[in-house]
Amino acid sequence: MGKIIQVGMADLKLAKTPDKLMTAGLGSCIGICVFDKNVGVGGLAHIMLPSSTLAKSNLNHAKFADTAIVLLLDELEKMGCSRSRLQAKYAGGSQMFKFSGDSDIMKIGPRNAEAVGEHLNKHRIRVLASDTGGNYGRTITFDPKTGDLLVRTIGHGERII
């Protein structure tokens, strides 16, 4: 049996078959999984914000969609993955709070989802599936062997994408 490797907020980790990657409690954040099925290696980044360009503190590359994707691709290549075979799945980007007026806190989830899609596309990484939006949290477990991404929620079911 493989290990389940925990990935925290604004963090990025890699796993090799039979290990799996897991991140708990994604709200407006997004868990981006990129993997090479042939090598059986995958990475998971738990990003908080869409872009590093507006931030004053951008040393942690795993915090932003744009820099986390670049870091993921570099790290996976170092592990022997082929850039052309890399595929992606992602989940999260919800809008957690109701009644929050016009505060920015409402928009961060959808903005994250948009940025992740955009940057994966920019690096020509094929997106196999995504599960974003809504107003509920997600806990995800990614298996780099099969590419299955298990999404668990409270009150909104469980699914594999």
How far apart CA 63 and CA 72 sit, in angstroms, is: 12
Q: In terms of CB distance, is 9 or 39 closer to another protein?
A: 9
Q: Which of 6, 12, 57, 39 is nearest to 144 (CA)?
A: 39
- Phi first, then psi: give them for residue 20, nearest 5 degrees: -125, 165
Q: How far is the CB of 131 from another protein (least distance, A)?
A: 14
Could you say which of 29, 41, 47, 88 is catalytic? 29
Annotated catalytic residue 33: no
Q: How far is the CB of 71 from another protein (least distance, A)?
A: 15
Q: In terms of CB distance, is 28 or 130 closer to another protein?
A: 28
Burial of 11 (0-12, 13-18, 19+ CB in 10 A): middle
Q: How far is the CB of 104 from another protein (least distance, A)?
A: 7
Q: Which residue has the tokens 């007026």?
A: 101
Q: Which residues bind another protein (CB under 8 A)?
A: 8-11, 24-29, 48-49, 54-57, 59-60, 63, 94-101, 103-105, 108-109, 135-139, 154
